[in-house]
Structure 1
């Protein structure tokens, strides 16, 4: 019987990122997918700043930015004319190295991840399905159906269900998936077109209750149209063609269609699984949570799940942590998923609400409010922080302790950059590490050296104060760059006690 450390079901971005992180940390993985090849069409487009920050750990961020498309502005249309613009090019200035909206279609994204995974001699096993699995003492036994129709029995220490909204893993675990389904039918069209909405920026139509957006793609005249239909056309979703929906784009956004590369319709759910873990099996990505496409959060949230789980599995499998560390995966990620589903549901419901009052809010109030909001730095910053996922945090949870400056245990480490350097450079290495901004004690230096815990001491600079970092304290950072301890002292016993209480050793690469 074939044996792996982690068996990954599903080779979308979530499963591929999980396989990459685990492989980098020395974990043996198998990743399989029921499809015959990587997708050639996709719905997910946005790669958020927080994902790009984490992608630095695998030298992926530069490739995504180089091959993707940076969106300069979002334009809002009413009655066939642009009425408001929100600049996006440097909307997150000073908050992150990636202070912009990056468009990188999921099909291209997956190909990049697959290529990088092959550098670790890991290949996606195609046309292979999981039929069942059972847990036994020290692992799992899984029954697979191979491309030739034969069955294979394999063993793994852990199993990761990254197999989408209709997850076999979730159904096998018999975990509830409460929520609902939006009444609208969504459509996606990849087109070549011309017109004012094909200028490389994002365009959204505020008219009526059907949502319509034009997302720019790389290459002149290429765009992705994403919209909804809710009238009698929704009753025949399976037979809808582009001609049934194209008139709205043409009339409302002056989009002149030259060619349609592909067109698809689908329904969207808003659901969160009751549990993200049972025993040795985990749920990630759409298998654990699905929601509206508002804000471009779905794929990025699945990638966040993968990175959160990867270092914890690697630590446990490498003997550097006790299995109780894995309990924190569900606690941390399910709380975020529930908040996200609630938020995107409210946004989408507002955008697509019907009735005279809703139309007035969208067509009269929004064009007035958006430019006002765009003129205030605090408003732009709030919007960016929310959408970019840089405010995702694990405050008040088991692995998060203390406060230093304005930074709490569980926060993402704030980015601080000036002419003298970038405090994120050491984060390229996915390991436990300590950051000190200012001075520290000889005891801290000696303890970190003795325990092979990287210590980075930055001379105090105004940029650190601006970022909210505390002076002369320390920050213990997890391998996924979130703050485990924020403390105003220079006492290594605080770190020693933390590792002892959580059953973790700092070195496991």
Structure 2
């Protein structure tokens, strides 16, 4: 029993990792303790950056078709809508996906499983990781199958995508420092009517229990996510929808007709001390968990998977040394810590109790937020942050150079000139080069020698507006982040970039 990579956990993080690796010819084995994909879920939001990255897996259109686009966020206080933030107008010149996409995790997982099976990979269900030994040359894992029997599985690397109670994290002993919020959350899928059932995200900031109404694709259906603050949270196991305070629902003017599902849970905020130990890696909830503020959790796990996938493939295919895998933790752990800190502050604001907290939410915030929202820069900052398009790896050892506003490690700025979308070539899952203007003959020869795809765009004003510089060489990593920016344009620095890091393109394709 052998695979290049053993993936434990078949949530979105594990499934995306399996898809990416399989597309690159890496043999994976993915297991999960459950008997079937989940039928209920808490994660809903698919952010713009995830949709951009999903173009590589030909998933973006399917997620958009099956889900629901949220064009705006409404904030309510004392039964009145005080602020409307129009997302689609804020990000229309920043990304092809200037909206919040609602696509429940259970449907998301089914789509990923469907695509993975088309590639010939099936999740081995009702299979549990008991433990593993890392010899330094390989990993020998002990698995418990559906019939209770144990088997040994040899793999080059093991990826722990097995959630907050990760067995992989337990075995490598990296710890999981953090804490647990006092508030109890509930999730209810409902059919309802009222002004908050308008296809937009509606949030109550009142002194009553926190409540957010997320629209689903089906008309008249929504997911309610709220908190339980008082003595009711002591009866978590027996809590029913009828027991939840309806003050917030009345403030949002939501009249629930039918409840299709109801569950409660507690929220933690934790980041593991290391994302890698030897041949074992931690991703998604196994590495970091935080409040649902901003809809960041699932997207961050998917980002982990894509960051690690191309690096594992590079090492396994002999296109990089094992040192490349150290950059996974270096690039992802800082973002995870920052995310936990940011979501903690937001969550604490919307759920804080007491007279002063209520005063800030109901009196000060309703006046301050609309004022700030009038400024384009403030709205754009909010969109850039929540959509994750500002996430960057500027401090990474893989990042070299800058020009204008674009630094190596940044997401490539999106621009459309005429009918040409500069993100179109990014579906190519390998290193590639962009030049906006004219490519020098020496650069063209260098790209041919290295086997790099080179795309040259005729210089247009739209590229300058996006922050790109004429005739500069942008080397893009397989995950579409900028690896190197070269202002000389002659190819020598490009050649040195790969040689000095012991790197080579994955597929060595010239077109």
Where on the TM-score scale, by shorter chain, does this alignment land: which range? over 0.9
| CA displacement, residues 116-165 of structure 1 (integer Å, 9 cap, x when unaligned) | 00111000111000001001232100110000111111100000000000
Secondary structure of 2:483 counterpart = strand
| CA displacement, residues 299-353 of structure 1 (integer Å, 9 cap, x when unaligned) | 0000000000000000000011111100000000001101100111111111112
Secondary structure of 1:382 counterpart = helix
Separation in 1 of the partners of 2:277 and 2:96? Answer: 37
Secondary structure of 2:484 counterpart = strand
Say whether the 8 Å CA contact 1:319–1:508 is kept in structure 2.
Answer: no
- 1:462 is aligned to 461
Cα distance, 1:440 vs. partner?
2.2
Are the structure 2 counterparts of residues 313 and 305 from structure 1 closer, same or farther at C-alpha, using a change threshold of 3 Å?
A: same
- 1:112 is aligned to 111
| CA displacement, residues 64-106 of structure 1 (integer Å, 9 cap, x when unaligned) | 1111101122111112222221112333110010011111111
Secondary structure of 2:189 counterpart = strand
User: How large is the RMSD of aligned CA atoms in angstroms?
Assistant: 1.1
- 1:292 is aligned to 291
Secondary structure of 1:184 counterpart = strand
- 1:499 is aligned to 498
Alignment of 1:140-179 (within 5 A): 140-179=139-178
Say whether the 8 Å CA contact 1:190–1:224 is kept in structure 2.
Answer: yes
- 2:236 is aligned to 237
- 1:228 is aligned to 227
Say whether the 8 Å CA contact 2:79–2:250 is kept in structure 1.
Answer: yes
User: Which runs of 5 or more structure 2 residues have no equivalent in the other structure?
Assistant: none
Separation in 2 of the partners of 1:273 and 1:470? Answer: 39
Cα distance, 1:204 vs. partner?
0.6
Secondary structure of 2:113 counterpart = helix
- 2:272 is aligned to 273
| CA displacement, residues 383-405 of structure 1 (integer Å, 9 cap, x when unaligned) | 10000000000012211111012
Cα distance, 1:246 vs. partner?
4.8
Secondary structure of 1:89 counterpart = helix
Cα distance, 1:371 vs. partner?
2.4
Alignment of 1:62-211 (within 5 A): 62-208=61-207, 210-211=209-210
Separation in 2 of the partners of 1:37 and 1:398? Answer: 40
Larger mean CA deviation between 442-451 and 245-254 belongs to: 245-254
Cα distance, 1:501 vs. partner?
1.7
Say whether the 8 Å CA contact 2:209–2:247 is kept in structure 1.
Answer: no
- 1:346 is aligned to 345
Separation in 1 of the partners of 2:340 and 2:246? Answer: 31
Say whether the 8 Å CA contact 1:87–1:374 is kept in structure 2.
Answer: no
Secondary structure of 2:153 counterpart = strand
TM-score of the superposed pair, with normalisation by structure 1: 0.98
Larger mean CA deviation between 375-384 and 477-486 belongs to: 375-384
Separation in 2 of the partners of 1:120 and 1:370? Answer: 48
Separation in 2 of the partners of 1:418 and 1:100? Answer: 21
Separation in 1 of the partners of 2:276 and 2:249? Answer: 47
Cα distance, 1:480 vs. partner?
0.1
Say whether the 8 Å CA contact 2:446–2:495 is kept in structure 1.
Answer: no
Separation in 2 of the partners of 1:10 and 1:114? Answer: 12
- 1:46 is aligned to 45
- 1:260 is aligned to 259
Say whether the 8 Å CA contact 2:185–2:264 is kept in structure 1.
Answer: yes
| Corresponding position: 1:216 with 2:220 | no
| Corresponding position: 1:309 with 2:308 | yes
Cα distance, 1:460 vs. partner?
0.8
Separation in 2 of the partners of 1:396 and 1:115? Answer: 37
- 1:29 is aligned to 28
Separation in 2 of the partners of 1:56 and 1:410? Answer: 20
Separation in 2 of the partners of 1:478 and 1:308? Answer: 10
- 2:482 is aligned to 483
Cα distance, 1:356 vs. partner?
2.1
| Corresponding position: 1:417 with 2:445 | no
Separation in 2 of the partners of 1:487 and 1:265? Answer: 52
TM-score of the superposed pair, with normalisation by structure 2: 0.98
Are the structure 2 counterparts of residues 233 and 24 from structure 1 closer, same or farther at C-alpha, using a change threshold of 3 Å?
A: same
Separation in 2 of the partners of 1:219 and 1:90? Answer: 24
Say whether the 8 Å CA contact 1:187–1:265 is kept in structure 2.
Answer: yes
Separation in 2 of the partners of 1:128 and 1:261? Answer: 30
Separation in 1 of the partners of 2:427 and 2:445? Answer: 24
Separation in 1 of the partners of 2:24 and 2:183? Answer: 43
| CA displacement, residues 228-266 of structure 1 (integer Å, 9 cap, x when unaligned) | 112111111121111111523432222111111111111
Secondary structure of 2:176 counterpart = coil
- 2:12 is aligned to 13
Separation in 2 of the partners of 1:30 and 1:507? Answer: 21
Say whether the 8 Å CA contact 2:160–2:286 is kept in structure 1.
Answer: yes
Secondary structure of 2:3 counterpart = strand
Say whether the 8 Å CA contact 1:453–1:507 is kept in structure 2.
Answer: no
Secondary structure of 1:114 counterpart = helix
Separation in 2 of the partners of 1:67 and 1:91? Answer: 24
Secondary structure of 1:57 counterpart = helix
Say whether the 8 Å CA contact 2:417–2:463 is kept in structure 1.
Answer: no
User: Which runs of 5 or more structure 1 residues have no equivalent in the other structure?
Assistant: none
Say whether the 8 Å CA contact 1:401–1:486 is kept in structure 2.
Answer: yes
- 2:336 is aligned to 337
